[in-house]
Structure 1
């Protein structure tokens, strides 16, 4: 269906914004005065269905959840409100920390999610599982992407990943209940707008709350220390969480190896060594 058919409103102008992975990005002005953001692709319906389901599920955390409304979605398009970007401020970062803590606290019943997941355009096994989290993470996140990334990791890299999987119970820290997490929360998926942070492009699922914080640190987020401090004040983190950051960054780095090849191998290997507390 076209955007007009999905929304029931005439589209007056479309501005192309480039592409990402296997879809294109657009800004559209509607006859009723609204502007919307549109992702479009052919044959990628599962990706948009997962993103729409994830955004709606995150919004279910409460009326102030930091996610945009899904205006429409089908197999070829996802339509969201257009949100003008602005520079992040310290005050907005502190609010983000509190908002993220509240989002995580709206706990689901299990790890995983009741829909087929994607990260970028790679599938994620979201099979719901009561846990514990370490085995779920090893079986549903690390092992599948080890198979995808094995060629670029090489033999030594594969053996390090296997050691992380084998030792996951000892590496994962104190038990945590499932949290309602974004799942791909690098800084590019944080949109600063209206004096706050809004979360976009989720790989949402019931997961470990430290995963979202580790993702924010992976490629650097503005005012990260303020975000984490506000989060920790609202929902104190378990002892040793900083030492576990590499463990939680390990899956997204394997994803990057699977997507982009050996250019991310050294980061993935370094994360595995750090998770195992091995010297560099």
Structure 2
């Protein structure tokens, strides 16, 4: 079997694979989690190292949490900033139908989340017929409430985010090097980022959205390095609104109902 795994799409949006490669390079920081190695990138393909699957363990999950905090603390130039080496919007979603992911420089997190995430996905949903005017109005109401709902996490600075850190974008693999005792316990490897400058709680909320293994250990490891702001558990749903909305746009079905109920619950949270 080849030691290279190739992702390819003949009609990929311009820059799609180059953007992903730039994001992977940006996330690779000393003390951070292992990031899949890029072997080659072209207009229609991305060659990556082939990983050897392994079973996740609580200690490996805690190590992922510690490393993720280190990556976040590496920072970003601004809210919404793209990965270093990439200029322009990013992409969010599956290989066969990614949505544009606006990038730029916003002065604060509420402005960024409202203008670069909630408003665009509402428009995308209406264009595709997946969301209605009532859904867009609900997201607009949420945007107005963001400064209140995000407290006391508003004084944080832009973190270096993976940006699409659902459980499927964390692969558990055997490590490249054995530990001092000779063991080769599983380690987490990050793949498929939508990297940008955003709020550190967003990556953790994505891990919770579809149930990452040993999530409590991941969070515990994270807080060993960077304690989260008071009330962070109450903001998990807030950070999940955008990915749930994207799923509603792309896949419809129960995701539209989930989006409505999540936003409604947030708006009722006085």
Residue in structure 1 matched with residue 100 of structure 2 by the alignment: 123
SS of structure 2 residue aligned to 1:109: coil
Instruction: For residues 52-109 of structure 1, give each alpha carbon's deviation from its aligned partner in whole angstroms, at most 9, with x where no partner exists.
Output: 11101111x2265421121110111101100111111011001011011111010122
> Quick check: 1:134 aligned with 2:113?
no
**Structure number having the greater strand percentage:** 1
* Residue 268 of structure 1: how far off its partner (Å): 0.8
Residue in structure 2 matched with residue 197 of structure 1 by the alignment: 188
SS of structure 2 residue aligned to 1:152: coil
Mapped partners of 1:274, 1:229: distance in 2: 27
SS of structure 1 residue aligned to 2:132: helix
Counting matched residue pairs gives: 245
Residue in structure 1 matched with residue 140 of structure 2 by the alignment: 162
Out of 158, 178, 181, the position equivalent to 2:161 is 181
TM-score between both structures, scaled by the size of structure 2: 0.86
Mapped partners of 1:65, 1:264: distance in 2: 31
Residue in structure 2 matched with residue 146 of structure 1 by the alignment: 122
* Residue 144 of structure 1: how far off its partner (Å): 0.2
Instruction: For residues 206-246 of structure 1, give each alpha carbon's deviation from its aligned partner in whole angstroms, at most 9, with x where no partner exists.
Output: 11000000000001111001111111121000011111111
Does the CA contact (< 8 Å) of 1:246 and 1:274 recur in 2? no
Does the CA contact (< 8 Å) of 2:121 and 2:242 recur in 1? yes
SS of structure 1 residue aligned to 2:34: coil
Instruction: For residues 134-193 of structure 1, give each alpha carbon's deviation from its aligned partner in whole angstroms, at most 9, with x where no partner exists.
Output: 101110111000111234333443322111011111112232100001000100111011
For the aligned residue pairs, the C-alpha RMSD in angstroms reads 1.7
Unaligned runs of 5+ in 2: 175-185
Does the CA contact (< 8 Å) of 2:69 and 2:226 recur in 1? yes
TM-score between both structures, scaled by the size of structure 1: 0.83
> Quick check: 1:213 aligned with 2:191?
no
Mapped partners of 2:166, 2:117: distance in 1: 17
Unaligned runs of 5+ in 1: 1-27, 30-34
Does the CA contact (< 8 Å) of 1:152 and 1:262 recur in 2? no
Does the CA contact (< 8 Å) of 2:61 and 2:214 recur in 1? yes
Mapped partners of 1:241, 1:145: distance in 2: 24
Decide whether aligned partners of structure 1 residues 230 and 131 sit closer, same or farther in structure 2, where only a CA change above 3 A counts: same
SS of structure 1 residue aligned to 2:172: strand
Residue in structure 1 matched with residue 247 of structure 2 by the alignment: 256
Does the CA contact (< 8 Å) of 1:153 and 1:262 recur in 2? no
Mapped partners of 2:102, 2:134: distance in 1: 26
Does the CA contact (< 8 Å) of 1:257 and 1:264 recur in 2? yes
Residue in structure 2 matched with residue 36 of structure 1 by the alignment: 4
Does the CA contact (< 8 Å) of 2:33 and 2:64 recur in 1? no
Out of 222, 238, 244, the position equivalent to 2:229 is 238
> Quick check: 1:76 aligned with 2:44?
yes
SS of structure 2 residue aligned to 1:71: strand
> Quick check: 1:89 aligned with 2:57?
yes
Structure number with greater CO (CA < 8 Å, separation at least 6) is 2
